Chains A and B, each alone.
Chain A
Amino acid sequence: MAALLSIQDLVTAYGKIEALKGVSLEVAEGSITCLLGPNGAGKTTLLFTTAGVLKPRSGTIRFAGKDIAGHPPHRIVRTGIALVPENRLVFPQMTVIENLRAGAYQRSGAGEIEADIDRLMQRFPRLRERAAQDAGTLSGGEQQMLAVARALMSRPKLLLMDEPSLGLAPLVVEEIFRIISDLHRDGTTILLVEQNAYMALQVAQHFYLIEQGKVTFSGDPGSLEQDEVIRRAYLGTARR
């Protein structure tokens, strides 16, 4: 399978501190690729840099053959990448439907947009119940679904997901992962950052381990080193 997203030697820094020290990875088209790693390893920084929120200091990001490093976020969305950020980030004072319309901002064709909204409401029945409610009044799980739905409104070819299960009850987490599997089955490529390594490895075709700003391991689920990888993702390697 061809690589839809290809990142080479990416360096992103906050002032003097380098959060990414030269990350290279690939996301195959149509796959679910998973990024594991302890807190502070740079996973969110990587997604933010890919989504255009942060500018890399050096390195390349190629999406479907085009160089997108350093582009502003709205342009990245237009190129076909959408990010479901950590902590959901919905628009609390806008209704559920308005949140979805915002996700389709870069698209034209009101008819198609409304059709997509209907489709997503069917897929996420709880959102349909709350269509006219302000997003700030939704529960954590509902906001997560809204955030995913909003990202899908831009019809992305690549969906970036940052810790979708964070802070959610186990039943809700299962629902989220079922949605992720459904999306995969429909052909969406997904780059998934997850703390919950167990669930993530059940859906992923490939995974990377990031520690302290560098990729330290790359492999397929079921490989011999998997347990070691999971341990390091949770606990991190021992500091000298």
Chain B
Amino acid sequence: MLDLAQNTLDGLALGASYSLLALGFTLIFGVLRRMNLSYGPAVLFGCYCATWTHLNFQAGLIALAVVTIAATVLAGAYVERLCFAPHRRGSAVAAMVASFALWMQIEEVAMLAMPRHIYPFPQLFEGAPLQFAGLSLPGDALVMLAATAAVCVLLHRLLYRSRFGLAVRAAIDNPLAASLAGIDLARTFVLVFALASAIGGLAGYLIVASHGQVTPMLGMWSTLKGLLAMMLGGLGSLPGAVLGGLALGLIEAHSQWFFGPQARDLVAYLLLFALLAARPAWMTRWTTIRSAS
């Protein structure tokens, strides 16, 4: 019973990082109606820049977080300009394939700049894990959960209490009506992309700081987890992204306990495939992928 509770706790902490990644994907998908497959690589780029900073300067945790976020936003802007802005009124397939292409490009740039397979990264929390009620919660897991909660609250306020948020929700709801109401769609897309990249950068920083190391696999890993979590929560829904991330974390933690590490991923993919095949209504809200013009 205690194991179940501990796994649940671990799963939630893990899931929190997935939620952040999924939020970034969902923001971009909701507004641009496109999947950005360079999202993970942009996060990798951000983490590598922070690693480089760490290796060459004495930078504190906050400074490294800022570097990660800023570098991710920069990489995201590059992707947006090259892959999404030119295809705004055109082919979704072309935009997505272009974002694959930049995925490969960004990963290679990162690996050429820092060729070793593993780099150390300053640990977020050096102390002993919190112990309560027979359960153990590592400090960085607590930070991850808190950060995710904070991002959700701030994002909600941004979307529902600010002028920019109104523009974003209008663009998600009906892009044509939004531009007729006087909303500058192109500018909104750029800003949403930057916001999504910033959230991704934060997620990346927390993930590598929790593990104390960064590897090139982070790019592919972030993309896959973010996509999975977003799909599990129902494509295009922001609350769904958060729930999907937490659900994915829980599924992984429990599957791993019962079936081992390989089964962990197998169960998650199987679940997604089964859900897609069964097509419950909450999963397939977005029945048409219209171009955002």
Q: Do chains A and B touch in the complex (CB under 8 A)?
A: yes
A103–B180 Cα distance when bound, in Å, is 8
Q: Which of B169, B173, B177, B183 contacts A74 (CB 8 A)?
A: B183
A85-B177 in contact (CB<8A): yes
A102-B179 in contact (CB<8A): no
Q: Which residues of B contact A83 (CB under 8 A)?
A: 180
Q: Which of A93-147 contact B (CB under 8 A)?
A: 93-94, 98, 101-103, 105-106
Chain A residue total in the interface (Cβ 8 A): 26
Please tell me if A92 contacts chain B, counting CB pairs below 8 Å.
yes
Please tell me if B166 contacts chain A, counting CB pairs below 8 Å.
yes
Please tell me if B49 contacts chain A, counting CB pairs below 8 Å.
no
B261 CB → nearest A CB, Å: 40
Q: Which of B166, B169, B170, B182 has the most CB of A within 10 A?
A: B182
A91-B174 in contact (CB<8A): yes
B182-A91 in contact (CB<8A): no
Q: A72-B184, A74-B184, A105-B163 are in contact. Are A91 and B179 (CB under 8 A)?
A: no
Closest residue of chain B to A93 (Cβ to Cβ) is B173
Q: Which residues of A contact B173 (CB under 8 A)?
A: 91-94
Q: A91-B170, A94-B169, A94-B170 are in contact. Are A102 and B176 (CB under 8 A)?
A: no
A92–B178 Cα distance when bound, in Å, is 12
B29 CB → nearest A CB, Å: 16
Task: Map CB proximity to A onto B160-194 as digits: 1 under 8 Å, 0 otherwise.
Answer: 00010011011001101111111111100000000
B163-A85 in contact (CB<8A): no
A102-B166 in contact (CB<8A): yes
Q: Which residues of B contact A91 (CB under 8 A)?
A: 169-170, 173-174, 177-178
Q: Which residues of B contact A154 (CB under 8 A)?
A: 181-182
Closest residue of chain A to B177 (Cβ to Cβ) is A89
Q: Which residues of A contact B176 (CB under 8 A)?
A: 53, 85, 89
Q: Which residues of A contact B181 (CB under 8 A)?
A: 77, 102-103, 105, 150, 154
B286 CB → nearest A CB, Å: 13
Task: Map CB proximity to B onto A23-54 as digits: 1 under 8 Å, 0 otherwise.
Answer: 00000000000000000000000000001110
Main secondary structure on B side of the interface with A:
helix
Q: Which residues of A contact B177 (CB under 8 A)?
A: 85, 89-91, 102
Q: A89-B174, A89-B176, A93-B173 are in contact. Are A103 and B182 (CB under 8 A)?
A: yes
Closest residue of chain B to A108 (Cβ to Cβ) is B163
A105–B182 Cα distance when bound, in Å, is 6
B172 CB → nearest A CB, Å: 8
Q: Which of B125-167 contact A (CB under 8 A)?
A: 163, 166-167
Q: Which of A53, A74, A90 contacts B182 (CB 8 A)?
A: A74
Q: Which residues of A contact B183 (CB under 8 A)?
A: 74, 102, 105
Please tell me if A184 contacts chain B, counting CB pairs below 8 Å.
no
A86 CB → nearest B CB, Å: 11
B166-A85 in contact (CB<8A): no
Please tell me if A73 contacts chain B, counting CB pairs below 8 Å.
yes
A77-B166 in contact (CB<8A): no
A102-B170 in contact (CB<8A): yes
B174-A74 in contact (CB<8A): no
Q: A73-B179, A89-B176, A90-B177 are in contact. Are A98 and B184 (CB under 8 A)?
A: no
B85 CB → nearest A CB, Å: 14
A74-B166 in contact (CB<8A): no
Q: Which residues of A contact B178 (CB under 8 A)?
A: 91, 102
Q: Which of A53, A72, A105 contacts B167 (CB 8 A)?
A: A105
A231–B179 Cα distance when bound, in Å, is 35
Task: Map CB proximity to B onto A55-98 as digits: 1 under 8 Å, 0 otherwise.
Answer: 00000000000000000111001100011010001111110001
Q: Which residues of B contact A51 (CB under 8 A)?
A: 180
B159 CB → nearest A CB, Å: 11
A77-B170 in contact (CB<8A): no
Q: Which of A73, A77, A93, A151 has the most CB of B within 10 A?
A: A73
A53–B163 Cα distance when bound, in Å, is 23
Interface residues of B (CB under 8 A from A): 163, 166-167, 169-170, 173-174, 176-186
Interface residues of A (CB under 8 A from B): 51-53, 72-74, 77-78, 82-83, 85, 89-94, 98, 101-103, 105-106, 150-151, 154
**Given A73-B180, A77-B181, A154-B181, 4 new contacts (CB under 8 A):** A52-B179, A53-B179, A53-B180, A72-B179
